[in-house]
Each structure stands twice: as C-alpha cells, then as structure tokens.
Amino acid sequence: MAIDSSSSSNTPFFFFYEEFYGPMHLETLRSVSNVAVLLHGLGKFDEAEPMSIRSLRGYEEIFGMMHPDTLISVNNYASLLQDRCRYEEAGNLYQRALKSYEEIHGKNHSDTLLSAINLASLFKEQCKYEAAEPLIRRAVNGYDELYGKKHSATLGAVGDLASILHDQGQLDLAEPLYRRALNGLEEVQGPNHQDTLGLCGNLAGLLKDLGKLDEAGLLYRRELIGREKIQGKSHPDTLLSVSENATLLQAQGDLVQAEILIRRAFNGFEDIYGPKHSLTLEAVSDLGSILQDQQDHLNEVEPLYRRALNGFKELHGSKHTLTLGAVSDLAGLLQEQNKFDEAEPLFKHALNGYEELLGPKHPDTLKSVTDLASLLKEQNKLNQAEALYRRALKGREEIYGSSHRDTLYTKGYLGHCLMLQSNLSGNDMIVDAFHKLKEGPNGITSSHPWYKKFTKILKNDVRIEK
C-alpha cells in the first residue's frame, strides 16, 4: 500500500494554519492530512484516524468527490483502515479511488496503476490472491509501457508480483522476479534505499523457504543493518526485519539468539501498535514457537499461542492464514502434551482451511498435512498417517525438489511410519534423509531440534513429535 507523504508537516504548523486561515482553508486541510500521515507512520492509529476523516471530508466539501487531492486522501485513509485490519471499509475506499482514477485518467495512468496496487495489497493481506494477481500484473504492464522496464515504479510492481506468487507457493516463478526487481532497484535507487532493502528481505524469505539458509541470512542481515542505519532501531520496518532474522536463526537451530531477537521485535511492536495488532501477535506466535523448540519454558508457550489465536480470530476471522497457523501451533503443543483428542480436531480444521484458501498443493497446506500425519502416527493410525506423508512428500518434491529440508524431513517421517509397520524400507529412508540433512554448510548439527528428533527415531524411540 502507498501513503502520500510528499510534504512534511508537524503539529505546531497545523495549529498555526487553523488559527490563521480557519478550519476549512486549503492550507489547514493539507496540514491536517500531513499530520494524519505522520501519526499513521508512527503507529498512532487512534490519533491519526479522526484527522484522516477530517481532511477527507474537507477535501470533499471544497473540491468534490473526484478531485485528485480528495482521492489522495481517500487512499491515505484506506491505508490506515487496512493497517487497523478494517478490511471491508478499506476495500470500499480503495475501490472508490480506483474507479474514480479510471474515470478521470483512464486505466493506464500512473495514479490509476498506483491505486490498483493499493487495492491488490489489501486483497493479498486477505489471501484473496485471485483478485490481487490481475491487479498487480496490470500495474507491471502499465508501468512498463509508461516508463520502461528499469523504472523504479515498474521494478516495485515486479517485486509485488513476486510476493503474490511467493504467497501462493509458486516459488520457481517468484525467485527470478524478486532477483530482477532487486538488481534493478540496486542500480536505480542504490543498495541502501528503503525499497531495495525491502526486496532484500522478501528475496531472503523465499530463499529461506527454498532451504538456501546461508544466502537468506546474508540478505536478512543486510536488510537489518540498512534499516537500523536509515530508519533507526525502533522503526516498525526495522522490527519486522528483526523478527525475520529471528525466524531464520530458529531454522538454523540458534535458538538462544533467535529468542533475543524475537523478544526485541515483540516488545517494539507492542510499544508502537499495542497488544492486539497483527504484527504484535505474529511476534507472540514466533516467540511461542522458539520457546517450544527450546523445551525449557513450555509453561509459557500455551498462553502465547492462545493469545495469538484469539487475537488473529478477532482481527482476521477464522479462515485467514494467520489464524490457521495459530490453530496449528496450538494443536502441535497439545500433541506434545499428549492431548491427542484436543489436538486432532484443530489439525483437521487447519488443514481444511488451508485447502480451501490456498489449494491442496500449497506449501502451507502440505505442512498442515504433515502436522496431521504426525498426530495420527502417534495415535497408531499408521495407514492414515502413511497416506498423508506420501501426499506431502510428493507435493514437496514437486515444489522444492528432493534435497530440500522440508522434503527430507517428510521422507524421514514417512520412513519412521513405515518402520512402525515393520516395513524394512523405512529405516533406509530415514538414514538417507538424515545423512542428506547433515550435509553441506547448511547441514543441521547436534544442537538443532531436528537432529535430535531424527537421532531418537534411529534409536527406535517411537515417541517422536513432528
């Protein structure tokens, strides 16, 4: 989403204009609008909203519903509502702005294309990818026609398209688009521009999903150092980069440093946005996951997971990916506590939700498949578990290839399931998977949670969690 903040302002100027010109003078309204954008950027949503409404109503009264200044105010207010997770209201305003720009300028004007991107960002956040992708492709083509392939607007839209494809699990299509956008922005805007750093983080997230952890780590650290230098250590973008670095360290098995970083992000988000904001809740969920992997503070984990789940439900509803992820997290903890009857309906609810939202072959869906398979295996429902593991293994091989970590984890757990059914091929599958997981610079070591789990399997300990 884009917020117009081309001119700077502050609260004293706002009061000056109001006293000197009156509350409905154009300069007063511009100052009100600028202060609203500033407060929004600082996360002070309660203070920003009445000022956003005031500026919008003022522009409507002075200029009418279709004036460019009015439509900028419409988009800015919609962006604020989106950040407050009031999606229906935000969508109505974004739709209004897009329709108005199309009527005034036509479908390929730069203002129209930016409005299309804003609406696509809302759809993406709601997991409405079928609605978001055509809008982004329209923007890519439109900017390309207007400015050329190497313009920052074109490259930004290419990065947005990559992000939507990434979210849909189309990693092979997303990676070259991310790299095109990042390389282009490095050339056009420089290596430390905020847009360039954002693409560093996005590409790093994709590489992490592909199991390329060393390259991902370099990009994540580059983004964090750049944001701390340019935006400061407490800026929301910096804190988001902190949380991304934390989850990478978790994937690498460095749980101590991961906890330090995620607590920093959590405290920062809570200070800026409050305890119920989506970013705060994501940090709560990540903290729970890291503590669960550590196994030393399990009494802290369940309250964190339940807080995240209840918060996501309130913000996004029961069928959003963040809510479903929180359901899966809680189910996994209940499984670890041997509360199988409580865990099973939660796992099934999550899987059904992912299949409905993302389709049967999305990476998040396949993770949900393995979650349920793990529970069924512990309940000795081995035929059902085997079928789910085979489904997940096939899907992950298609997406990631045979050497990706997630593929190898799945292969190992399928092997364990076969061993429990006295199928001798299962042991060979586990040995092969475990050997490949330990190979290379990204190989798991003895401190990694997965190393410990596969070691237990090979010692014939049947009580293995996922």
DSSP letters spanning 39-71:
HHHTT-HHHHHHHHHHHHHHHHHHH-TT-HHHH
The dihedrals phi and psi of 16, each to the nearest 5 degrees, come to -60, -50
pLDDT of residue 298: 86
| Structure letter (DSSP) for residue 337 | T
Instruction: Look at residue 19 in the predicted model and tell me its pLDDT.
Output: 60
Output the pLDDT for position 399: 81
What per-residue confidence (pLDDT) applies to 87? 86
- Tokens read off for 266: 């959590």
pLDDT at 21: 54
* Start-to-end CA span in the chain (Å): 37
- Nearest CA to 83 out of 194, 236, 234 is that of 236
CB-CB neighbours of 50 under 10 Å: 12
Predicted confidence at residue 145, as pLDDT, reads 96
Q: Residue 466: what pLDDT? A: 45
Name the 3-class secondary structure at 106. coil
pLDDT value at position 94? 97
Domain ranges of the chain: 1-126, 145-232, 234-316, 323-466
CATH topology of domain 234-316: 1.25.40
Q: What is the CATH number of domain 145-232?
A: 1.25.40.10
Return the pLDDT at 402. Answer: 87
Q: How far apart are alpha carbons 250 and 265 in whole angstroms?
A: 14
Instruction: Note the CATH number of domain 323-466.
Output: 1.25.40.10
As a whole number of angstroms, the distance between CA 132 and CA 153 comes to 18
User: Could you say which residues of the chain have pLDDT below 70?
Assistant: 1-25, 441-442, 449, 460-466
The pLDDT value recorded for residue 464 is 43
Cα→Cα distances 22→18, 29, 37, 58, Å: 5, 10, 21, 12
One fold for 1-126 and 234-316: yes
Tokens of 373: 């398979």
Q: How far apart are CA 372 and CA 435, in angstroms?
A: 25
Directed axis angle between helix 194-209 and helix 213-231, to 10°?
160
pLDDT tens across 19-30, in order? 665 566 677 888
- Measured torsion, CA atoms of residues 218, 265, 243, 136, in degrees rounded to the nearest 10: -110
What sign results for the dihedral spanned by CA atoms 380, 382, 387, 393? positive
* pLDDT of the residue at 8: 39
| Plot region of 339 (φ>0 → left; ψ -120 to 50 → alpha; else → beta) | beta
What CATH number matches the domain at 1-126, 1.20.120.430, 3.10.580.10, 1.25.40.10, 2.170.8.10?
A: 1.25.40.10
